[in-house]
Structure 1
Amino acid sequence: MYTKQISKSRTINTTMVKEFNTQTVVSVGLEIFWQALAKDFIVIVPKVLPQHVKDVQVLEGDGGLGTVLNFNFCSDASTGSYQKERISELDWSSYEIGLEVIEGGHLNRGFSFYKTSFLLAAKGPDQTEVNVKISYEAENEDVKSAEPTLFYIRSLENYLLHDS
């Protein structure tokens, strides 16, 4: 697995939204990784990150665009006890999903906007390139690393290769 990271800023509607981009390759085929990342993650996330996430609940929607999810964290989570996210991007044909934090979690840590987007591409029959974009707005915070997101991707890869 390799990782490439890029950080940049841009102004949207007179608001400074910063971006942090990274890329990695996993040893799991595109369709299998997409299924786990975008379709089955409500069930898979607590299995992949049992030390961090107790459960994921659907509060609104059917798992598609606009769906609101509640991630309940374990007691030692640094972002608080929960985080609500909305699926704000979803494109089945281009394998793209974006999750925007709407309450708790990162918003309790000084961010006024925080969204993680994933774009997948096949690198071969058993490899998938995962492009991650973290878009955020904060006065005193900068995303200098996507390590928690990359940790999730590596944990998901390991789960799909060995435990599923």
Structure 2
Amino acid sequence: MAVLTLTDEFTSPVVPKRVFKALILDADNLMPKLMPQAIKSVETLEGNGGPGTIKKITFAEGSHIKYVKHRTDALDEEKLTYSYTLIEGDDLLDKIESISYEMKFEPTPGGGCKGTNVSKYHPKPGVQINEEEVKAGKEKAMAIYKGVEAYLLANPNVYA
């Protein structure tokens, strides 16, 4: 089966460096605090945060997915880019070998940022990926992003 590639773009009035610090560099600490109803914990299983690091995200009670594991593939704090691969998950990976993500944050003329996320879904042999399920998952991810954005707007000195 072919790889399904989706590209999402979003904008924010928050400068890219702050979004990157909150959403990428300090996500392990920030996400469970901001969204305990969605994310129970993030723990580093291997590595120091750079390429090769393996993290386990445990979701809150009631989620249809209990956990996933991500591997950091690339992290560039100057260029504000981050690539990682979802390599393990309970319910999710019955149909999917892996999902790779490439994220980039750029400044916009008005002082905010534009974020781009390219997702590549690698299905297991003989499996067709349901785009509607993928879109539902992306909506949940966007809700997390919007929660971080709201936090940054309400706290202008955090991650400055």
Map 1:48-127 → 2, pairs under 5 A:
48-79=34-65, 81-105=66-90, 107-124=92-109, 126-127=111-112
TM-score if structure 2 supplies the norm length? Answer: 0.83
Q: Secondary structure at the match of 1:16?
A: coil
Residues 108 and 76 of structure 1, relative CA distance in 2, 3 Å threshold: farther
Task: Give the number of equivalent residue pairs.
Answer: 149
1:150 equivalenced with 2:142 (yes/no) = yes
Q: Letter of the 1:140 partner, please give it.
A: Q
TM-superposed CA distance for 1:32, in Å, is 0.8
- Mapped to 2, the partners of 1:40 and 1:149 lie a distance apart of 16
Unaligned runs of 5+ in 2: none
TM-align CA RMSD: 1.9
Which residue among 110, 114, 127 is the counterpart of 1:129?
Answer: 114
Return the structure number with greater strand share. Answer: 1
Contact 1:107 1:114 in 2 (8 A): no
Structure with bigger helix share is 2
Q: Percent same amino acid at aligned positions?
A: 23
Shift of 1:90: 1.6
Deviations 1:131-164 (A, max 9, x none): 0111102222234423122222111101211255
User: Which residue type is aligned with residue 128 of structure 2?
Assistant: N
State TM-score, norm by structure 1: 0.81
Instruction: Tell me: higher relative CO, structure 1 or 2? Use CA pairs within 8 A at least 6 residues apart.
Output: 2
The reply to whether residue 40 of structure 1 matches residue 57 of structure 2 is no
Among 134, 137, 162, the alignment partner of 2:154 is 162
